[in-house]
Amino acid sequence: MTQRRPLIAANWKMNGSCELAVQCCETLSQLPASNTEILICPPVIFLNDFPKSDRYQLGAQNVSSEVSGAFTGEISADMLAAAGASYVIIGHSERRALFGDTDTLVLAKTKRAIAAKMTPIVCFGETLTERQQEKTMQVLAQHLDAVYAAHPELLQHSVIAYEPIWAIGTGETASPAQAQAVHAFIRTYLKKYDDAAASKVRIIYGGSVNAENCAALFAQPDIDGGLVGGASLKPAEFAAICLSAQDS
Ligand SMILES: O=C[C@H](O)COP(=O)(O)O
């Protein structure tokens, strides 16, 4: 880890309950105070089940690209912020693959989040085929360009999540060296938009992070934390992952 403040984010996806929220709060409240920022992104219906705490922040898993109006089922950035979300995950591969979140939508959502004073966690990652064809960096460059080329000013307000799609929910994580190589590429690539912001931006890793593999990942110089799916549904394991970031 680095001088950048570590961020460990839980993405519950469409899982969890108010009972899990209570357990999660209790477990996290026992962690010693530290510089690590802990974030929980439950389904928005559970945001209010988390009491206000200085141990963690709350976030959402998606946001509308629109401000308001006749968009049935959507939730605006202002509404999420009013419900207590200070972060929002944007462009997760599941959104891109299953719900049609294109690069254009990812850019629009990123702008909306920042306008509502939330921090977007903008997700990027390659498929297994793209990795096998050695296209990882090319694919990432294209997707990064789609958000930041015309709007480099967004970078200083963003967190980047690198999530190789082949490692999500599969139990197969990128090795620390593989992940570090991509994180270093992303940081270097982003320098062309804003050199200072690229040095400061937190780039977190997601894809089968667990209590066993997290320490080696977080020890890498360009890995500034994790976006944790399955393991974040087990409060004790998630707390162990948060502790591991403190030690790295
Ligand atoms: O947002 C989280 C990622 O999709 C990783 O999920 P996972 O930890 O279950 O592989």
The reported pLDDT for the residue numbered 173 is 84
In this prediction, residues 120-135 reach a mean pLDDT of 96
**Domain enclosing residue 150, as ranges:** 7-247
Angstrom distance (rounded) from CA 89 to CA 224: 16
Average pLDDT, the chain: 96
List the one residue out of 242, 243, 234 whose CA is nearest residue 12.
Answer: 234
DSSP 34: -
Whether 237 is in a domain gets the answer yes
Q: Distances in Å between the alpha carbon of 116 and those of 63, 66, 73, 85, 246?
A: 11, 12, 19, 10, 30
The reported pLDDT for the residue numbered 162 is 98
Angstrom distance (rounded) from CA 241 to CA 1: 14
Torsions phi, psi for 238 (to 5 deg): -65, -40
Q: Are 95 and 108 in contact (CB under 8 A)?
A: no
229 is in an annotated binding site: yes
Percentage of the chain beyond pLDDT 70 is 98
Tracing tokens 């709060």 back to the chain, one arrives at 25
Ligand 1: centre distance to CA 69 (Å): 32
The reported pLDDT for the residue numbered 169 is 85
Q: For residue range 42-99, what is the model confidence (pLDDT) as tens digits? A: 999 999 999 989 899 999 999 999 999 999 999 999 999 999 999 999 999 999 999 9
User: Among 37, 94, 130, 163, which one carries the catalytic annotation?
Assistant: 163
Whether 166 is in a domain gets the answer yes
Nearest-atom number in ligand 1 for the CA of 167 is 10
Q: Are 176 and 216 in contact (CB under 8 A)?
A: yes
List the one residue out of 33, 14, 42, 37 whose CA is nearest residue 235.
Answer: 42
The reported pLDDT for the residue numbered 56 is 96
Whether 88 is in a domain gets the answer yes
Assign residue 179 a region (left: φ > 0; alpha: ψ between -120 and 50; beta: otherwise).
alpha
Domains held by the chain: number: 1
Q: For residue range 155-202, what is the model confidence (pLDDT) as tens digits? A: 999 999 999 999 988 888 889 999 999 999 999 999 999 999 999 999
Question: Is the pLDDT at 141 greater than 70, yes or no?
Answer: yes
DSSP 51: P
Question: How many CB atoms sit inside 10 A of residue 191's CB?
Answer: 13
Ligand 1: centre distance to CA 12 (Å): 9
35 is in an annotated binding site: no
Alpha helices in the chain (DSSP H): 18-29, 77-82, 93-98, 103-115, 128-132, 136-148, 176-190, 195-200, 214-218, 235-247
| Residue among 39, 126, 168 whose CB has most ligand 1 atoms within 8 A, to mutate | 168
92 is catalytic: yes
The reported pLDDT for the residue numbered 163 is 96
In this prediction, residues 33-47 reach a mean pLDDT of 96
212 is catalytic: no
Q: Are 42 and 194 in contact (CB under 8 A)?
A: no
73 is in an annotated binding site: no
The reported pLDDT for the residue numbered 2 is 55
User: Among 92, 94, 143, 183, which one carries the catalytic annotation?
Assistant: 92
| Residue among 41, 62, 228 whose CB has most ligand 1 atoms within 8 A, to mutate | 228
Q: For residue range 20-31, what is the model confidence (pLDDT) as tens digits? A: 999 999 999 999
Whether 2 is in a domain gets the answer no
Whether 35 is in a domain gets the answer yes
Q: Are 203 and 162 in contact (CB under 8 A)?
A: yes
| pLDDT band per the 50, 70, 90 thresholds, residue 1 | very low
Percentage of the chain beyond pLDDT 90 is 93
Nearest-atom number in ligand 1 for the CA of 170 is 10
Whether 125 is in a domain gets the answer yes
Q: Supply the CATH number for residue 157's domain.
A: 3.20.20.70
